[in-house]
Structure 1
Amino acid sequence: MMTSKMNLSEEDIKNRYISPAIFETAKWNKSDSLMEYSYTDGRINVVNNVVKRGKQKRVDYLLYYKPNYPLAVVEAKDRKNHPSPNAGLQQGIDYAKDLKVPFAYASNGDAFAEHDMITSTERTLELDEFPTKEELWQRYQRELSLSPEQIKAIEVPFYSSRDTYAPRYYQRIAINRTVEKIANGQRRVMLVMATGTGKTYTAFQIVYRLLKAGIKHRVLYLADRNILVDQAMSDDFGPLSGKITKVQGGKLDSSYPIQFALYQQLVGKEEDAGHEPFRQFKPNFFDLVVIDEAHRGSARADSQWHKILDYFDGPNVTHFGMTATPKREKGASNIDYFGEPIYTYSLKQGIEDGFLAPYKVVRVNLDVDVNGFHPLKGETDKHGRIFDKKLYTSSDFDRSLIIEQRTERVAKYVSDYMKDNNSRWDKSIIFCEDVEHAERMRQAFVNENSDLVAQDSRYVMQITGDDKEGKAQLSNFEDVTSKFPTIVTTSKLLTTGVNVKTCKIIVLDSNINSMTEFKQIIGRGTRLDPEHGKEYFTIIDFRGVSRLFADPAFDGEPIEIADGSNSSGHDRKNSGSEVNEGLHTKYEVSHSVKVLGDQTQYLDDHGDLITTSLTDYTKKNILGKYATLDKFLQDWNSATKKQELLDSLEEHGILYQEIMKQENIKDLDPFDLIVHLAYNQKPLTKAERINNVKKSGLLDKYQGAAREILNKLIDKYKNNGIADLESNQVLSLPEFDQYGGAVKIMLTFGGKKNYENIIKQIKEKIYS
């Protein structure tokens, strides 16, 4: 083993496995590597409104060719416990898969094990054989046969400034893949990224790098709502403000290299036959067309909007689509148009990584929804109209039959829920069947919350396409610092393109059969804003819509529908638009409505919805990690520091601290709580465990100051738990000052080693 070249200290060789000096010797600069790089935030787990962050995913070393281009991960293990350099290789491979990095390495300080992610080959290297940055880069180019245009694009860094955050790992992957595909001549590219994961920021970085590299020169950014265009221009695309303009009044300005436009403006009005503003430019004017929310109008092959894509479609033009919900339906397939997504970052993955808010679901059963409404023969509604002879079910409610008391019952249930959970100021969106339903629901919520409406009439508002006053308040609803509006009723307008980071309650009182629409609605709640108290959100479902969570298509993969039969004409017709269906007959009836029951479900560690209590949830997770008591005791007894193991258990959803807090348990050791919950073992109190230590005679060996110190430490265990007993820092607390401080106390026991040995013996007696 050649260590002299590496400038390794004896401490490095003994303990640290490998040193950063190894990479410097191999001509990797300090700026080329990140040590202990965390690339996720850690999943947020929520049970009974208790929020806990899981463990972050972290690589020991991440080596970069450029700041935007990592080439290798290195997993480091200590020699003492890992005699083979291959010990951490599988772990390194898993990290490389996550980060889409081409080379994975592991080392225990003796040698390197290498796995080439491109060729799936492995080899072992001596420490001084680790490849230089240039060697690895040349090898990467060769193995992937990168074109000169791709290399040119890779050389361009991300845009960065004090006001711009660095891309997250999945954004980096999305940006790099898109830039490389476009640089290599691919003319149809689609990214799938869940709502709240930064699609517009990703698009900005892609456009910036393509322009900077000279691969693209003129960009058309298409959307179908003003709010999407305005937000993109002012926020993420702000650094390019001098190069961008918005098409207004159907007039295009060729002096700007980046044009933002609404489809509607470019195609013109149908009544103005022959006037299509997009024809002001030649078909080859733009060489990059960005299609925001590509699942909507542009996906339909026969839509007016599709004319724009067909027109700007020369041999050097790239169409780049972004969506959270790709779809394939009869006559409307962005997958057929763009091809399979080049990268997908799903809602499930976003929640798993801790970048998106998890949710709990409250399913509410109303008696009329369960039993339906069957009018008697010849029965009339409140306007004297005879009912059709049929059983009306929840799919008919608020479409062809209005039950006033049902609307009132929904508003009362949600309002009571908000009152009972101290969430009356939580921003909430109520999704209704149509505009008329949203109007009636707004009134019902006003009547249930008249005290707060009296403070400000904007507490409850309707925001629909035909309501100018409501739409004027949309920016306030999105503003995290604005209290009003708080409760908003809507139909289709707020299903997409609205960024309400602090939205904490989503109410489903609409018949939603389209998975695309369902994903968009759920996306209204997935943004995180811990600074303003938003770490999860609640879905209150009155229509059984949350059944779609169980559909495999919900995971974020492209939806595959062979034809349109699985998505009703209503859903296709109205998706993304406001329609008032009051043109056909709607019967109205007075009919008492009661809540039969409700059920609350939470996301477990696998992303499945479960119905459980905090205690049951914790028990399930204990048994999931340790199937038997013997397996738990094996880990417990071998743990040098019990508190570190307890902390690890909390990261796996074993929320013992919250149970002890809620149940006001003070006299049990967490160990006893865990074995009692999961394995039905009789628990001992901490007082009983301390008594067992004293009866063992272990403390009788010590007299004077030493005995007093041990008694105080045992008292600390009784009051605060095992953490104080295990930490040498406890000796710096005021109650130990009289014994001369930590160093002198340890000398009282004959030195640090002897002190730690007696503490170890006490712990063994406590848990024997």
Structure 2
Amino acid sequence: MTRNISEADTRANFIDPNLAQSDWTSENITREYYFTDGRKLIGNRRGKRLFLDYLLKYNNTSLALIEAKKLGEHPTKGLQQALDYAEKLRINFVYSSNGKQIYEFDRRKGKGEYIEKFPSPKELYRRLNSSNFQLKEKLHSIPFHLTGPMRPRYYQEIAVNKVMESIAEDKKRILLTLATGTGKTFISFQIVHKLIQAKWNLEGQSRRPRILFLADRNVLADQAINTFNPYESDLVKIDGEEVRNRNGVVPTNAFIFFAIYQAIAEREDIGGYYTEYPSDFFDLIVIDECHRGSANEEGSWRAILEHFKPAVHLGLTATPKREDNVDTYKYFGKPVYEYSLKDGISDGFLTPYKLKRVRTNIDEYIHTSDSKVVQGEVTKDRYELKEFDKTITIIQRTDLLAKAILNNIGKMDKTIVFCANQDHALDLRDRINQHKSVTDPYYCVRVTSDEGKIGRIHLESFQDNDKDIPVILTSSKMLTTGVDARNVRNIVLTTSIGSMVEFKQIIGRGTRIYEGKDFFTIIDFVGASDLFYDSEWDGIPDEEVITDETGEEDGDDNEIKKKRKKPKVKEPTEDYEPKEKLIIELSNGRKLKVIDIETRYIDDNGKPLTAREFLEKLVGKLPAIYQNEDQLRKIWSNPDTRKFLMKDLGELGFDREQLNVLREMIASPECDLFDVLSHISFSSELMTRKERAANVRKNQQFFTVYENLKAKEFLEYVISHYEKFGVEELGRERLGDLVKLKLGSTKDAKMIFGDMNKLVTAYYSLQENIYRVS
């Protein structure tokens, strides 16, 4: 009898009453709590979302989850999955119940036991917060400041609560590590909001705390100020202009202070503004992008933090502990919470990426007398790739890269090009605008510190998703961190990068979610993406493609298919610029080009994937409409059955637009959609339409059936039309138009082929030949 009771009935008739008996009310319980959005898939679709049967909350904190099984099943049947979810949500108490029995697992102890009834909310809360209870209870009790239907993501709640608990436990140095694009400024605002509302401060007095938000760039500080807009009347920015307006006196009449390191630090000719504040003035200092200032003793914010030593120091960073930011982790200690890029992509809060590796035939330069020295002096025989556009510029190579960039991106896809320095950003901007097809003068602009106000205006227009122009930004260091531009489709790397930390920051410009943005593309000209192979944090790119300047792929040259060694990384430094850069113009006999294409499919753990596995990861499960390659070929070769197949694929979410996107991702526009489906489903070799057309032309036996020369010419015309425009030109409904274009009228066609049935038969037979096994 019990086996017929569903899980829903078990919840309603057994588990819910058990919870009610332990004082759990509707405001404490969230049923079917979805906590991820589902990985982004092709065609603006989503993968499976993760959810809990029950989430139990009290005092704005998640205390426990319940895995429900239907009456008659073993009560711990789903315990392992529940424990996995609890780990992700940082929840310590996990319950599994079939309505009759309740199993409690305490993750802190690593073991569980059967219990008679659920503990009450207050009992469970106190068990989790035994130390510093009163302050934790007070800080937790302040709800998030939210507007409209907005709801914080689960990891944002965790991050805020972990900081609250650390502050309550009197920790002085706290670190949050969250991938770029996950909302660190939003988290900072909620932390500040809770502390202000709770009137927390170091002295324990009844006053609002004074909080300093430190950034290293004005654009980051200004973005943060916008986020803190609800406290507009309580905040001030410390800079030279503000101090001058106050007759040389630093502002003190606020609760939230914003500053960039450079504006308040000591300089050669002036003392730092920070020294004019008492060392115990601030209760909390938030250091945004704290890895950039460097925590070593010479670091730009270290002296400021030393001065304000009594305050709680909260560091925010997007990069995990690696060789080039060990000082940061040494200063702050282990992060109280980490949320990686891999987590963000898997959960659907960040955009997946693919990788295009572009290699030229001039990845080093050996000077010869037939090359012209336009400027500077040749000081050695050989220049390496890492020196390009820093100490040496090769005019033709800059031109080649500009063409390759344009041909590897969509014409109106927002793109950031990272260059060696500001001059290189100018050179690439000019070359891109020289070869562009869009006439707007602001199609490609430089955004660097030298551009000043004009650059900031261009950046704001680029960030505005309602504006198409500018499309391409060339930059060097200015856009590596914190700039929120959600619709970036391409990140282009044209200069070597010595720091994994800097690399991760650069790539973070493309991870933000935007409607209709299924993935973004890293286009790497210098092998910098080797720094991205960091499976613990990022995962590995779903796809890696080597492409040429036209955007085409060609994998014939096995020489470039070599295993990559993880490069050594070093502390980021400012680019060294000689007084006079060497500029070379190659002789007319030297032709530059981009060499072959390599496609690699890798999962998040570095495991090689088949093409089908890769596409299933990006697209979801592929349809089982056809069982093998022969069946697919037979269906596709006939216009009538092909039409029904396309209809079935469309109903399953694989319409023509999605199939074309897949074709661009794994092949090229010159490949037939049949080859895309066959390659995805059965790992078959890809063929272009040109190759298929050539195979038909070689088959003279097929043409000898038709004695009339005009009949042969018509079939050749159909082949050429297919070769140029694709399978869409082979539909049954297109036959009449093709006849009119080539033969004039249906009457003429009957005379040439004998009758219309023979014409249709020839048309269908031609397609069987196009798609026959090569």
CA contact (8 A) 1:360 1:600 kept: no
1:518 maps to what in 2? 503
User: Residue type of the partner of 2:572?
Assistant: R
**Is the deviation greater in 288-297 or in 20-29?**
20-29
1:228-261, CA deviations, whole angstroms, 9 ceiling, x for partnerless residues? Answer: 11111112x1122221111132453211011111
> CA shift at 1:356, angstroms?
0.2
1:332-351 counterparts in 2 under 5 A? 333-351=327-345
CA contact (8 A) 2:462 2:470 kept: yes
Distance 1:473 1:362, change over 3 A: same
The answer to whether structure 1 residue 429 and structure 2 residue 416 are counterparts is yes
Distance 1:619 1:100, change over 3 A: closer
User: Residue type of the partner of 1:140?
Assistant: L
Please state whether the residue corresponding to 2:597 is helix, strand or coil.
strand
1:167 maps to what in 2? 152
2:765 maps to what in 1? none
Give the TM-score normalised by the residue count of structure 2: 0.71
2:144 maps to what in 1? 158
CA contact (8 A) 1:149 1:183 kept: yes
The answer to whether structure 1 residue 136 and structure 2 residue 119 are counterparts is no
CA contact (8 A) 2:494 2:526 kept: yes
> CA shift at 1:18, angstroms?
4.5
> CA shift at 1:198, angstroms?
0.4
2:573 maps to what in 1? 573
Distance 1:607 1:429, change over 3 A: farther
Q: In the aligned structure 2, how far is the partner of 1:679 from the partner of 1:443?
A: 42
Q: In the aligned structure 2, how far is the partner of 1:11 from the partner of 1:306?
A: 57
> CA shift at 1:312, angstroms?
0.7
Q: In the aligned structure 2, how far is the partner of 1:588 from the partner of 1:678?
A: 49
Distance 1:268 1:621, change over 3 A: closer
1:218-237, CA deviations, whole angstroms, 9 ceiling, x for partnerless residues? Answer: 111111111111111112x1
The answer to whether structure 1 residue 374 and structure 2 residue 370 are counterparts is no
CA contact (8 A) 1:344 1:556 kept: no
CA contact (8 A) 2:378 2:582 kept: no
2:520 maps to what in 1? 537
Distance 1:192 1:351, change over 3 A: same
CA contact (8 A) 2:610 2:683 kept: no
User: Residue type of the partner of 1:345?
Assistant: Y
Q: In the aligned structure 1, how far is the partner of 2:184 from the partner of 2:598?
A: 34
Distance 1:109 1:192, change over 3 A: same
State which of 373, 377, 387 in structure 1 corresponds to 2:378.
Answer: 387
1:487-498 counterparts in 2 under 5 A? 487-498=472-483
Q: In the aligned structure 1, how far is the partner of 2:105 from the partner of 2:61?
A: 18
2:213 maps to what in 1? 221
1:636 maps to what in 2? none
CA contact (8 A) 2:443 2:469 kept: yes
User: Residue type of the partner of 1:320?
Assistant: L
1:263 maps to what in 2? 261
Distance 1:602 1:242, change over 3 A: farther
- Equivalences, count: 600
Q: In the aligned structure 2, how far is the partner of 1:283 from the partner of 1:309?
A: 9
1:613-632 counterparts in 2 under 5 A? 613=611, 617-618=615-616
User: Residue type of the partner of 1:201?
Assistant: F
1:549-560 counterparts in 2 under 5 A? 549-552=532-535, 554-555=537-538
Distance 1:589 1:616, change over 3 A: same
The answer to whether structure 1 residue 94 and structure 2 residue 84 are counterparts is yes
Q: In the aligned structure 1, how far is the partner of 2:680 from the partner of 2:357?
A: 32
2:633 maps to what in 1? none
1:106 maps to what in 2? 96
1:231 maps to what in 2? 223
Q: In the aligned structure 1, how far is the partner of 2:253 from the partner of 2:495?
A: 46
CA contact (8 A) 1:434 1:580 kept: no
**Is the deviation greater in 533-542 or in 186-195?**
533-542
> CA shift at 1:517, angstroms?
0.7
The answer to whether structure 1 residue 323 and structure 2 residue 322 are counterparts is no
CA contact (8 A) 1:360 1:601 kept: no
1:62 maps to what in 2? 55
User: Residue type of the partner of 1:435?
Assistant: Q
> CA shift at 1:341, angstroms?
1.0
User: Residue type of the partner of 2:394?
Assistant: I
1:410 maps to what in 2? 401
Q: In the aligned structure 1, how far is the partner of 2:6 from the partner of 2:374?
A: 92
Distance 1:204 1:674, change over 3 A: same
CA contact (8 A) 2:41 2:619 kept: no
Give the TM-score normalised by the residue count of structure 1: 0.72
Distance 1:140 1:294, change over 3 A: same
User: Residue type of the partner of 1:348?
Assistant: K
> CA shift at 1:331, angstroms?
9.3
1:182 maps to what in 2? 167
1:198 maps to what in 2? 183
The answer to whether structure 1 residue 458 and structure 2 residue 419 are counterparts is no
> CA shift at 1:381, angstroms?
3.2
2:512 maps to what in 1? 527
Q: In the aligned structure 1, how far is the partner of 2:88 from the partner of 2:361?
A: 47
> CA shift at 1:262, angstroms?
1.4
1:699-710 counterparts in 2 under 5 A? none
Q: In the aligned structure 1, how far is the partner of 2:261 from the partner of 2:530?
A: 34
Which segments of 5 or more consecutive residues in structure 2 lack a partner in the other structure?
202-208, 244-248, 541-566, 628-648, 664-676, 685-774
Q: In the aligned structure 1, how far is the partner of 2:6 from the partner of 2:289?
A: 57
The answer to whether structure 1 residue 596 and structure 2 residue 595 are counterparts is yes
1:580-634, CA deviations, whole angstroms, 9 ceiling, x for partnerless residues? Answer: 8252442312242101123455664x3649686568745999999x9xx9xxxxx
Please state whether the residue corresponding to 1:192 is helix, strand or coil.
strand
Distance 1:298 1:56, change over 3 A: same
Q: In the aligned structure 2, how far is the partner of 1:203 from the partner of 1:429?
A: 27
The answer to whether structure 1 residue 149 and structure 2 residue 145 are counterparts is no
1:506-547, CA deviations, whole angstroms, 9 ceiling, x for partnerless residues? Answer: 1111101210110000000000011xx223111111111111
Distance 1:381 1:478, change over 3 A: same
> CA shift at 1:326, angstroms?
4.8
Please state whether the residue corresponding to 1:160 is helix, strand or coil.
coil
> CA shift at 1:339, angstroms?
0.8
> CA shift at 1:459, angstroms?
0.9
CA contact (8 A) 1:93 1:104 kept: yes
Distance 1:108 1:331, change over 3 A: closer
CA contact (8 A) 1:325 1:556 kept: no
1:17-47, CA deviations, whole angstroms, 9 ceiling, x for partnerless residues? Answer: 845343223211111111101100111245x
Report the identity percentage: 37
Distance 1:246 1:386, change over 3 A: closer
Q: CA RMSD in A?
A: 3.6
> CA shift at 1:173, angstroms?
0.7
Q: In the aligned structure 2, how far is the partner of 1:485 from the partner of 1:354?
A: 28
Q: In the aligned structure 1, how far is the partner of 2:680 from the partner of 2:506?
A: 42
Please state whether the residue corresponding to 2:592 is helix, strand or coil.
coil
Q: In the aligned structure 1, how far is the partner of 2:14 from the partner of 2:157?
A: 28
> CA shift at 1:110, angstroms?
2.1
> CA shift at 1:10, angstroms?
10
Q: In the aligned structure 1, how far is the partner of 2:681 from the partner of 2:371?
A: 58
Distance 1:475 1:603, change over 3 A: farther
CA contact (8 A) 1:12 1:18 kept: no
Q: In the aligned structure 2, how far is the partner of 1:288 from the partner of 1:108?
A: 47
Q: In the aligned structure 2, how far is the partner of 1:397 from the partner of 1:223?
A: 31
CA contact (8 A) 1:17 1:78 kept: no
2:105 maps to what in 1? 115
Q: In the aligned structure 2, how far is the partner of 1:463 from the partner of 1:543?
A: 21
1:38 maps to what in 2? 34
Q: In the aligned structure 2, how far is the partner of 1:416 from the partner of 1:222?
A: 41
CA contact (8 A) 1:477 1:500 kept: yes
Q: In the aligned structure 2, how far is the partner of 1:150 from the partner of 1:271?
A: 46
Which segments of 5 or more consecutive residues in structure 1 lack a partner in the other structure?
3-8, 558-564, 630-649, 665-672, 681-768
State which of 106, 115, 118 in structure 2 corresponds to 1:125.
Answer: 115
